[in-house]
A and B are shown apart, each in its own frame.
Chain A
């Protein structure tokens, strides 16, 4: 392990080996079927989503005629119905179905909101336009009261339709950016992600309009923080090391995760994450890896199960001699988060990951990616990343 910053040409051997392994396996890649006790969600085009909306409404009307008791059925999104599929390394939604009835005032309000969201979805699909979650909230502030209520109804509506939220044309506001060796198409425009300056391309939430056209990248690097992304973009990291850089400024929203999933699947490249050396950073990595509990019904379209945690690992802090002034003590909330992560099946299964989290607890330390700057601004791009990608020091 190099201790001093030096200008060196790293061969990125370990990353290249992984890349070659993926490329060779590419044609043999098989889709592992999802477990039978989970529900199947489809990513649909406009026509088929509309069809599902009409079928759903027909079902509800029929139930009202037949029973005289209006109600709706939808898959439960409670934690008891979230299943970790070990083989695919994904969090998925089980087959528990709940029935919401028009009996109490609470459920009437709930169903009214749900029906209003369905009405909005219908309008968006018919007009072939998209709206953000915030816009949906403002269509009926009196009914939704606060955005988290409309967000919940949007997620329920997508689950009821057994489709992804993006298929309903309700999208999150653009958040992430991407830069590097990639050319894409947004409708009829070709966008070169190397030619957009250090700001990069804002990942469009309207991913149905986006298509990957060309790339000569050899790996993808997902970065937790804007500041680190800026450092890599300023140094034009992708020119020396052919790659695609992507950041979501924290936890990846649906668009960012879906775009990453698509990059990883279509280009078949190794994916690495660079996050803070703290439990929140590890959590962000885990959301890219196997999806979030809240959106578990969409995991097959959002998760990137082959993503590797490149850093910053707890063990890196000693290995790269990060000075004490750049290290922070764990707070109570951090300790709780680490303990929660250690209880997760997907961490228990990954011994290297478990060891690193336990080390953080034992040493009672955390650090930000920027702590690496204590060795100079270029340390991240000229030493840390190339060395780790060359030696294969990742989880």
Chain B
């Protein structure tokens, strides 16, 4: 077990990442997601939270992603489908966790297997939606800033209209 020491003398123990080598391919991701969603906030100690987050990133980088990639690049169609189904679910909830898989999607979209293609499409759409949400948030922030500047007479009506147009076109 990997041990994390809390300031109050308590500890948190998490399974060693080496043991995950024998797990089914999607399980390390499920584990990371579970600890992040359900446990992390309960540890209270900020130092331990930070260390555990770093350990989960380590699991993602060293175990979860390489294992998924080996399946996605492999020959077993059923394994690919079950891995993609899991990635689809994860990308819906937390797209950042699925991002390391993004470079492999283009090749998979050309697969002869219809299920693989459809799942790849769904995952890609989740990335597009997430990227749009991110972009929109960024533009919204700029828009708010421009509104303030316009009201203060610091920018022209033309500049404000341009920013507004950019924002609305992305929103649509």
Interface residues of A (CB under 8 A from B): 16, 20, 23, 26, 183, 185, 188, 190, 192, 211-216, 218, 242, 266-268
Contact = CB atoms under 8 A, between A and B. Distances in A.
Interface string B48-86: 000000000000000000000000000000000000000
Given A190-B30, A192-B38, A267 B1 contact: yes
A343 B8 CA distance: 44
Contact of B10 (A26, A216, A267): A216
B39 A183 contact: yes
A211 B19 contact: yes
A267 B13 contact: yes
B3 interface: yes
Nearest to B15: A213
B30 A214 contact: no
Given A190-B30, A242-B10, A214 B3 contact: no
14 contacts: A16-B9, A26-B3, A185-B27, A211-B19, A212-B1, A212-B15, A213-B31, A214-B14, A214-B15, A215-B12, A215-B13, A218-B10, A218-B11, A267-B1
A379 B166 CA distance: 68
Contacts of B26: 188
Nearest to A187: B24
Interface of B: 1, 3, 9-15, 19, 24, 26-27, 30-31, 34-35, 38-39, 42-43
**10 A-B pairs with the lowest CB-CB distances in the bound complex, closest first:** A216-B12, A213-B15, A214-B14, A215-B13, A190-B34, A267-B13, A266-B1, A188-B24, A188-B27, A218-B10
Contacts, number: 45
Nearest to A189: B30
Contact of A23 (B3, B24, B38, B42): B3
A268 B11 CA distance: 11
A268 B13 CA distance: 10
Given A20-B9, A218-B10, 4 more contacts: A23-B11, A214-B13, A215-B12, A267-B13
A215 B26 CA distance: 22
B171 to A, nearest CB: 39
A183 B34 CA distance: 10
Nearest to A242: B10
A216 B30 contact: no
Given A23-B3, A188-B30, A213 B14 contact: yes
A185 B30 CA distance: 11
B13 A216 contact: yes
B101 to A, nearest CB: 19
Residue from the set B13, B19, B27, B31 with the largest chain A CB neighbour count within 10 Å: B13
Residue from the set A185, A211, A214 with the largest chain B CB neighbour count within 10 Å: A214
Given A16-B9, A267-B1, A267-B13, A216 B43 contact: yes
Nearest to B42: A216
B1 A216 contact: no
B39 to A, nearest CB: 6
B1 A211 contact: no
A283 B34 CA distance: 40
A188 B26 CA distance: 9
B19 A214 contact: no
Contacts of B39: 183, 214
Nearest to B27: A188
A211 B15 contact: yes
Given A183-B39, A188-B24, A188-B27, A214 B12 contact: yes
A360 B42 CA distance: 45
A213 B2 CA distance: 10
Contacts of B24: 188
Given A188-B24, A188-B30, A216 B11 contact: yes
Contacts of A26: 3
Contacts of B19: 211
Nearest to B9: A16
A92 to B, nearest CB: 28
A184 to B, nearest CB: 10
A216 B19 CA distance: 19
A79 B1 CA distance: 38
A123 to B, nearest CB: 25
Nearest to B5: A23
